[in-house]
Amino acid sequence: MTEEEELWARLDAMARAARDFEERVGEWGASEFTGTADEGRIVATVNAMGVLLRLDVHVLSKRRLDGVRLGDAVVEAVNAAEAAADEARRAMTHAFRPGGTSLGELLGEPEPDRYA
């Protein structure tokens, strides 16, 4: 393979990687992420950017928890949902390795928690 052919092959590989990453970003962007609190009775759902889409609070949580504890549980559920969205984003950026180094590494982000 000539040097020119090798360069074209690398360029093609990078173009394929960019298309693949664009598809992954689209899938991630359309995803929803959930977090729970109060033994799963409070469920927050956010989109990929962390915007709250839904908040479901079971009637038992409304009866069991006073206003302050209910508010704390809602915040806990929303924070967990946002953390799930962030973890998915980090996993996506670390999986994109067009030149051997991941996008996540280039951005200086910590590795995703694979054991969470």
Q: Where are the domains of the chain?
A: 3-97
What's the pLDDT band for 115 if we cut at 50, 70, 90?
Answer: very low
Strands ordered across the beta sheet of 32-37: 32-37, 42-47, 52-57
Reply yes or no on whether the pLDDT at 108 is more than 80. no
What are the tens digits of pLDDT across the range 36-86?
999 999 999 999 999 999 999 999 999 999 999 999 999 999 999 999 999
- Measured CA to CA in angstroms, residue 14 lies from 7, 22, 71, 73, 97 at distances of 11, 12, 48, 45, 9
Q: Tell me which of 3.30.1310.10, 3.40.50.280, 1.20.1250.20, 3.40.30.10 is the CATH number of domain 3-97.
A: 3.30.1310.10
Q: What is this structure's pTM?
A: 0.74
